[in-house]
Amino acid sequence: MSIADCLAWLRGEASFARGVHPPTRKSLAADQPIEILPPPAMVTVPLQQHAGAAARAICPPRSRVEVGSLIGQEDESAAVSARVHASLAGRVQPLVGVTLPNGRHSLAVPIAGDEVHSRTNAAEPQGIDWFARLYGGSWHVEDQQRYFPRDIRAAVQQAGIVGLGGAGFPTHLKLLPQATRPAHTLLLNGCECEPYLTADQRLMVEAPAAVVTGLLLAQKAIGCERAVIAVEENKPEAIAALRGAVEQLDDQGRTTVRVCQTKYPMGGERQLIPAVFGLEVPTGGYPLDVGIVVLNVATAAAIASAVLRGHKLTHRVVSISGEGIREPKNLLAPIGTALSELIAACGGLADDACRVIAGGPMMGFAVTDLSVPLTKGTGGITVLTRRQLAASEQTACIRCGRCLDVCPLGLAPTRIAHAVRHGQLELADQYDMMACCDCGCCAYVCPAQIPLVQYIRQGKAQRLRRTD
């Protein structure tokens, strides 16, 4: 245990073994209230924003859509798929191929927005206040009592909700109780452990009631007794806001807010579950194997908004931050908005901006083409400057073992990486390569600056291709 771990233990914070402490840099955008991005002239909504099969486009070109109109029907032949909705009122354009923020490719539905004058009305001259509609106002806790689990799942499925933390697993499938593996606890993940990102943090501060209402609905759908909201210690405002909302429930302590140590990658479910419950998710298994369902806080808010207000998942909160952004902000933006529009709304790139990352600096993907659309799973854009990306100088592995000391899953990253480098996938498998969660702690600390996680990622991709 490091000194930081000991202090966290003394403070009673939940934590896991190993991990790293990169500078969090949350202060750049943490105090910026969520702003509503004015409707862009055009959005490009990808049909594949989730794990599983892509949605099927159902709107012919030139057809008119409103915000929330179904434009992508889930693939009924696949076990895992999700719907996609229009996030802008306008006319559908012919399908195009796009690169997603994570580097994959997908078909997408471009929607050309209506003329500006028809996008606003007298009551809301600045455009529609989507934040108030989706998450604002009061949430009546009794409301959720009137819904049956079946109705909740149906509403979630119809709204096209997928995990907003990034993995993008369709949420209605997670809310399905499984007879063989009953869930006892719902874990709401509000850790947001990646440096710079503040979208979830702002949502918890500004719409705690929506988050807690979504939690109750999800809990009801799954049929589990307890619920825990886990938040890292560096977000005291969010913790206070959520505690306030939970207190109003008066449910005899069945829902609790758990403070976690600020440590990367606390937000990974394989780290968060041991930290909060002391349970280990079996390698190759799922949280449900230990009776836990994990949802992101933003997903919970989207569930509340879908079930109680009938909104489809058309907008999300995204933080635009980093030293390479002139005015870091948190924006509520339509899904499918080009990253360039989001960046322009934040004053544009600084002169020495050098790398635009979809996501955070640890696990995010560098993008060079800023026409890439915002997807459901993109919680932030991080822009780094040249100064922060000092040219790395790779040297030989000196077997210092620092990668083993930080690997949150207890793997031997140097062994796996070197096995992959030499094409020995069998050997890499024996070192449990497939258990790796891609967090990148190993490459972050490596004094020889070897791209360890990059090699491991490559090895996992080769292994999956070989098994296919």
Partner 1 sequence: MDPSNVESGEHFPTALETAAGPHLLAPGASTRRMMLDVLIGLVPVLAAALWYFRLAAAAQLLVALAVALATEWVICRLRGRASSLSDASVCITALLLACSLPPQLPLAATALGSFVAVALGKMAFGGLGQNLFNPAMVGRAFLMICFPASMTQWTEPLTVHATTQATPLAAARFAGEFIELPRLLVGNVAGCVGETSAILITLGGLWLIVRRAADWRLTAGMLAGVVVVAVVEEVVRGADQSLGWARHVSAGAVLLGAFFIVTDPVTSPLSKSGRWLFGILVGLLTMIIRLLAGYPEGVMFAVLVGNAVTPLLNRWTTPVPVGGHTRRAAGRKPADTGPG
Give the footprint of partner 1 on residues 189-218 (CB under 8 A): 195
Q: Which of 392, 423, 461, 464 binds partner 1 (CB under 8 A)?
A: 392
Q: Which of 283, 310, 387, 464 binds partner 1 (CB under 8 A)?
A: 283
Q: Which of 112, 132, 176, 400 binds partner 1 (CB under 8 A)?
A: 400
Q: CA 204, CA 190: separation in Å to the nearest integer?
A: 8
* Residues comprising the chain, all counted: 468
3-class secondary structure for 331-392?
Answer: EEEECCCEHHHHHHCCCCECCCEEEEEECCCCCCEEECCCCCECCCCCCEEEEEEHHHHCCC
Q: What is the DSSP letter of 225?
A: S
Binding mask 36-75 for partner 1 (x = CB under 8 A): -----x----------------------------------
CB of 434 to partner 1, least distance (A): 6
Residue 265, preceding bond cis, omega within 30 degrees? yes
Nearer to partner 1, 310 or 347 (CB): 347
Q: How many residues bind partner 1 (CB under 8 A)?
A: 85
Nearer to partner 1, 123 or 396 (CB): 396
| Interface with partner 1 in residues 76-135 (CB under 8 A) | none
Nearer to partner 1, 239 or 362 (CB): 362
Q: What is the DSSP letter of 51?
A: S
> Which residue is listed with tokens 């910026």?
32
Determine, following the binding rule CB under 8 A, whether residue 411 of this chain makes contact with partner 1. Answer: yes
Determine, following the binding rule CB under 8 A, whether residue 419 of this chain makes contact with partner 1. Answer: yes
Q: Which of 31, 251, 434, 462 binds partner 1 (CB under 8 A)?
A: 434
Check the CA dihedral 111-115-118-124 and report its sign.
positive
Whether 13 contacts 233, CB under 8 Å? yes
Determine, following the binding rule CB under 8 A, whether residue 275 of this chain makes contact with partner 1. Answer: no
Closest by alpha carbon to 14, among 224, 239, 241?
Answer: 239
Whether 217 contacts 186, CB under 8 Å? no
Determine, following the binding rule CB under 8 A, whether residue 344 of this chain makes contact with partner 1. Answer: yes
Q: Which of 31, 99, 405, 462 binds partner 1 (CB under 8 A)?
A: 405
| Interface with partner 1 in residues 345-384 (CB under 8 A) | 345, 347-349, 351-357, 359, 361-368, 370, 382, 384
Phi, psi of 385 (to 5 degrees): -105, 165
Using CB under 8 A, which of the segments 19-27, 160-168, 206-214, 231-239 binds partner 1?
19-27
Using CB under 8 A, which of the segments 132-140, 206-214, 230-238, 400-408 binds partner 1?
400-408
Nearer to partner 1, 27 or 283 (CB): 283
Using CB under 8 A, which of the segments 154-162, 236-244, 291-299, 452-460 binds partner 1?
452-460
Q: CA 269, CA 7: separation in Å to the nearest integer?
A: 23
The helix or strand, by DSSP H or E, that contains position 34, with its residue range, turns out to be strand 34-36
The runs of H, that is alpha helices, within 50-207 are 116-119, 130-134, 149-158, 171-174, 199-206
Using CB under 8 A, which of the segments 16-24, 155-163, 216-224, 240-248 binds partner 1?
16-24
Using CB under 8 A, which of the segments 138-146, 199-207, 249-257, 402-410 binds partner 1?
402-410
Q: What is the DSSP letter of 162?
A: B
Nearer to partner 1, 162 or 456 (CB): 456
Determine, following the binding rule CB under 8 A, whether residue 410 of this chain makes contact with partner 1. Answer: yes
Give 202: exposed, middle or buried? Use CB within 10 Å, 0-12, 13-18, 19+. buried
Q: Which of 246, 418, 420, 460 binds partner 1 (CB under 8 A)?
A: 418
Whether 440 contacts 363, CB under 8 Å? yes
Using CB under 8 A, which of the segments 72-80, 234-242, 294-302, 436-444 binds partner 1?
436-444
Coil, strand or helix at 220? helix
Nearer to partner 1, 207 or 275 (CB): 275
Q: CA 102, CA 252: separation in Å to the nearest integer?
A: 42
Determine, following the binding rule CB under 8 A, whether residue 15 of this chain makes contact with partner 1. Answer: no
Q: Which of 135, 139, 277, 431 binds partner 1 (CB under 8 A)?
A: 431
| Interface with partner 1 in residues 307-326 (CB under 8 A) | none
Using N-to-C axis directions, what is the helix angle for 149-158 and 208-222, rounded to 10°?
120
CB of 433 to partner 1, least distance (A): 8
Nearer to partner 1, 110 or 195 (CB): 195
The helix or strand, by DSSP H or E, that contains position 56, with its residue range, turns out to be strand 56-57
Nearer to partner 1, 215 or 384 (CB): 384
